[in-house]
């Protein structure tokens, strides 16, 4: 009788262990399945956010996330389709960024080119002042005047500048001032400000006494 009871207890214990192991294994499978489904949903959410411009990620971060999802290989047709759309969107954004960067580069180059006449004009001042004869000086004056919208472009000379207080000498014109440099044979001013028209011609020149 006692042996029979012991056998029954043993069988019950084995059954409990078996059932417990099966339940634990099943729970793990269910958990793994839930995690997998959660990853799929997150992948869909992230891809749609990228496609619809609803993310604050940088372009590089978006590319990295798409690559990460693609490498996960979820074997999900919807995700595969979203990956294609996301890549197309990122390619368009990359092209747009490249276009804007090129426009900015050209804008900066144009600004640099606009600044070149400042140095050239200052050089002309020195060349005209140092000209060995009137003929050479007049030739350089004619070249310098091509930088102006007209020979009558106003030239303003600052004789005093402290803070917001600015005093000017009597106004003159580009042609008159270049001839003045020819006669004086020296340059006592520097270029303070230049205004241009749409053709990059000087429309107003401000000089400041050194």
Write out the DSSP string of 70-135.
HHH----HHHHHHHHHHHHHHHHHHHHHHHHHHHHHHHHHHHHHHHHHHHHHHHHHHHHHT-SSHH
Phi and psi at residue 203, to the nearest 5°? -110, -15
The tokens for 36 are 């997998």
pLDDT computed for residue 3 by the predictor: 45
pTM over 0.75: no
Class of domain 110-209: alpha beta
pLDDT at 103: 85
* Residues 98-132: tens digit of each pLDDT: 899 988 887 887 776 665 555 589 999 999 999 99
Residue 56: phi and psi, rounded to 5, are: -95, 5
């Amino acid at each position: 009788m006692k042996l029979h009871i012991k056998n029954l207890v043993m069988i019950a214990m084995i059954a409990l262990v078996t059932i417990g192991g099966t339940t634990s294994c099943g729970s793990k499978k269910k958990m793994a399945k839930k995690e997998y489904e959660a990853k799929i949903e997150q992948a869909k959410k992230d891809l749609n956010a990228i496609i619809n411009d609803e993310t604050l990620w940088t372009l590089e971060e978006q590319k990295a996330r798409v690559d990460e999802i693609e490498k996960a290989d979820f074997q999900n047709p919807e995700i595969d389709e979203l990956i294609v759309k996301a890549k197309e969107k990122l390619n368009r954004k990359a092209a747009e960024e490249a276009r804007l960067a090129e426009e900015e580069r050209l804008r900066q180059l144009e600004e640099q080119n606009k600044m070149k006449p400042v140095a050239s004009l200052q050089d002309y001042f020195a060349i005209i002042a140092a000209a060995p004869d009137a003929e050479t000086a007049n030739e350089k004056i004619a070249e310098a005047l091509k930088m102006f919208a007209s020979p009558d472009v106003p030239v303003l000379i600052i004789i005093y500048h402290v803070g917001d207080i600015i005093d000017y000498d009597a106004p003159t014109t580009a042609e008159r001032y270049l001839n003045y440099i020819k006669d004086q044979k020296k340059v006592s001013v520097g270029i303070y400000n230049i205004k241009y028209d749409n053709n990059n011609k000087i429309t107003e020149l401000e000089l400041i006494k050194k």
